[in-house]
């Protein structure tokens, strides 16, 4: 994990007077954990949604079942809906969401192991990226956390 990036993120959110929320599937709360590892994180971190199951995505974030059926849980529309749902349900100005296939199973030709959709919502605007990370389950999850944190840092005003 890149501690400098999380420290920079914290400082920037404090400067903006913004709170952050996270919506995590494949990382299972690792992003929220990195955020709250910093002392004083309650000044800029509001909450994390661990929405590992499809049902959790529906119940906690308001992702539509039809969207999951049509696109799959690991998709750009679902990642975007997760980021928007986290921001809306927590009333935060910034959110990040991740959904992916960490492996070792669960991959397909269309979505191989390592496929991760990331989404960042800043002041109501959502940006998404698709990554295919390599390595084992742990490496994929760690790469996702780093990418999510660095991605939000790049997108803050």
Per-residue pLDDT of the chain (157 residues; tens, 9 = 90+): 577 999 999 999 999 999 999 999 999 999 999 999 999 999 999 999 999 999 999 999 999 999 999 999 999 999 999 999 999 999 999 999 999 999 999 999 999 999 999 999 999 999 999 999 999 999 999 999 999 999 999 999 9
CB contact at 8 A, 146 and 3: no
C-alpha–C-alpha distance, residues 58 and 52, integer Å: 11
CB contact at 8 A, 41 and 10: yes
C-alpha–C-alpha distance, residues 75 and 59, integer Å: 18
């Amino acid at each position: 994990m890149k501690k400098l990036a999380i420290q920079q993120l914290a400082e920037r959110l404090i400067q903006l007077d913004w709170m952050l929320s996270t919506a995590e599937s494949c990382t299972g709360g690792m992003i929220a954990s990195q955020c709250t590892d910093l002392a004083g994180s309650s000044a800029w971190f509001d909450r994390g949604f661990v929405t590992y199951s499809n049902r959790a995505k529906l119940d906690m974030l308001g992702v539509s079942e039809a969207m999951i059926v049509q696109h799959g849980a690991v998709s750009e529309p679902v990642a975007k809906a997760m980021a928007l749902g986290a921001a809306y349900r927590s009333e935060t100005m910034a959110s990040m969401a991740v959904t992916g296939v960490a492996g070792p199973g669960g991959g397909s030709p269309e979505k191989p192991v390592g496929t991760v959709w990331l989404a960042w919502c800043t002041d109501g605007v959502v940006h998404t990226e698709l990554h295919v990370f390599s390595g084992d389950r742990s490496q994929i999850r760690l790469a996702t956390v780093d990418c999510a944190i660095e991605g939000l840092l790049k997108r803050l005003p």
